[in-house]
Structure 1
Amino acid sequence: MSESKMEENKTNENNLSEKLISKIKNYFEERSIKKAVLGLSGGIDSAVVLALLVNTLGKENVTAILMPNSKITKDSSTKDAENLAKKLGVEYFIVSIDSVLEVFEILPWKQNNTAKANLNARARAVVLYNYANSNNCIVAGTGNKSEFYLGYFTKYGDAAADFFPIGALLKKEVRLVAEQLNIGPEFLDKIPSAELWENQEDEKELGLSYSVIDELLPLILKNKEIPKGKEDAAAKLKKIIESTSHKREQPVIITF
């Protein structure tokens, strides 16, 4: 890579948070929308989205909703989320989803672990849209590009949103933006987890680290050569992408 190209890439990285704020601002202005709500989990993705929205809309136009499951969500996650909301000065609510989940215990069939785990994300989506409908605002999603292509999200759960401020960012780029926005180490150093069940960790579940995913994903999407020694990881990643393709598609309308 040439020296000028390296300098250009460095400049782009340095301006990443500024570019995102500008793009988000344009999105809201073009649609005459003034307010947004998001689910704040205590993880780095939602922390970055909250900070971006505050920088774009102003703290008075952003609401964060913390939605713990008392059986799964770590106290530290809720504490970190609450502290960030206080630091940024946004309105926030803590809404336990326990009672929402209890309703599904009456279903007359056996629910597997996947169905139970996904209920957490879908219950949170219901709460977010209830608030959005009641307060004339839109729901900001907190998913990133790495998760999107891995299908690492719940249909009609955390995938239910009106726009995704960091949806074009790889996980490593989310971390970069977090640093630029002065998001603290309690988020940067946290092990990634969707907390859909006890002691769940993203990288263990995926069987791949985000560093490997972020290295290989752009190459796979652009059909570029895979580095030697990374072929097995790339094959695994391709298989995940293919098997979750239905999660990235709109519902099919059967025509005749």
Structure 2
Amino acid sequence: MEQIVEKIKVWLQNQVKQANANGLIVGVSGGLDSAVIANLIKRAFPNDSLGVIMPINSNPTDLKDAEAVVQACHITSMNVDLTATHALMIETIQQEVNRVSEWHEKNARIADANLRARLRMSTLYTIANNYNYLVVGTDNMAEWFTGYFTKYGDGGVDLQPIVDLTKQEVRELAHFLHVPVEVIEKNPSADLWVGQTDEEEMGTTYAYIDAYLKGEEIPEKDKEVIEQLHARTEHKRNIATQLRLK
């Protein structure tokens, strides 16, 4: 673990130097992955790292855990409550759509969830521009392979330092970095809606995804789910499709 931490720290420092930036910023959700990143960027840039908590009607427990994370790793932090901004945007968009055609309630939850992720991305970049920081992503290998992130939302970042680590490896890294135990042991959630959990939404478990990525045998139904997720989300792992005319 110490070697992994050192390798990531040096890589982050090199990326910032190459970009002629000043430091790093991450959104802290109260979850495992963002807690690990907060610790890593603090180690890479003790005086130029920032954790941003961005609640949107968020679970109070998640907010408490996010605060515990930033306090434990002593990273500079700020809290930008986006609840009112999100509500206003949804209301404004819905009204205009209804004026032109029809707002489809069956798609409302995913539209709402993706807007949350994209608002947080925009917030991070606005703050990053102020400090000349790079935005650091929190996707692990399982999330990257299955496309479990919002395009131009939490997938909209400058750097992805833990994308080669399985969920279990990130958990082990969290223990090494002394992330609060309640954060390490909590049920993973992207805070997209009330009661949302990653594994329920994906239709399989991180343990099975990790095993699949390591070439181990898993139940056929879970293998099918994982491969379908990967195929369906290929567009997320690439830049916008380009038409070549010449």
Tell me if TM exceeds 0.5: yes
- Among 120, 137, 150, the alignment partner of 1:154 is 150
Distance 1:97 1:14 in 2: 36
Q: CA deviation at 1:28?
A: 2.6
Distance 2:85 2:152 in 1: 16
Indicate the residue corresponding to 1:41 in structure 2: 29
Aligned residues: CA RMSD: 1.6
What pairs with 1:8-87 in structure 2 (closer than 5 Å)?
A: 15-58=3-46, 60-70=47-57, 73-87=58-72
**2:134/2:158 contact within 8 Å kept:** yes
**2:28/2:53 contact within 8 Å kept:** yes
Distance 2:55 2:80 in 1: 7
**1:53/1:62 contact within 8 Å kept:** yes
Indicate the residue corresponding to 2:100 in structure 1: none
Distance 2:170 2:133 in 1: 24
What pairs with 1:67-216 in structure 2 (closer than 5 Å)?
A: 67-70=54-57, 73-101=58-86, 102-107=88-93, 108-109=96-97, 110=103, 112-216=108-212
- For 1:244, the aligned partner's letter is T
Higher mean displacement: 106-115 or 188-197: 106-115
SS across alignment from 2:161: coil
In structure 2, runs of 5+ residues without a counterpart are 98-102
Q: CA deviation at 1:17?
A: 2.3
Q: CA deviation at 1:173?
A: 1.1
Q: CA deviation at 1:186?
A: 1.2
- For 2:54, the aligned partner's letter is M
- For 1:91, the aligned partner's letter is T
- For 1:160, the aligned partner's letter is G
Distance 2:143 2:90 in 1: 27
TM-score, scaled relative to structure 1: 0.86
- For 1:143, the aligned partner's letter is D
Aligned length: 234
| Cα distance change of structure 1 residues 253 and 157 upon mapping to structure 2, 3 Å threshold | same
In structure 1, runs of 5+ residues without a counterpart are 1-12, 220-225
**1:17/1:180 contact within 8 Å kept:** no
**2:52/2:124 contact within 8 Å kept:** yes
Distance 1:82 1:69 in 2: 15
- For 2:79, the aligned partner's letter is I
Distance 2:77 2:2 in 1: 30
Q: Deviations over 1:71-91 (max 9, x none)?
A: xx1111111111221232222
| Cα distance change of structure 1 residues 135 and 14 upon mapping to structure 2, 3 Å threshold | closer
Distance 2:10 2:89 in 1: 42
Q: Deviations over 1:96-126 (max 9, x none)?
A: 1112212231222215211111111001011
Distance 1:194 1:253 in 2: 30
Q: CA deviation at 1:192?
A: 0.2
Distance 1:57 1:63 in 2: 9
SS across alignment from 1:195: coil
SS across alignment from 1:142: coil
Q: CA deviation at 1:30?
A: 3.5
Distance 1:114 1:231 in 2: 28
Identity level (%): 32
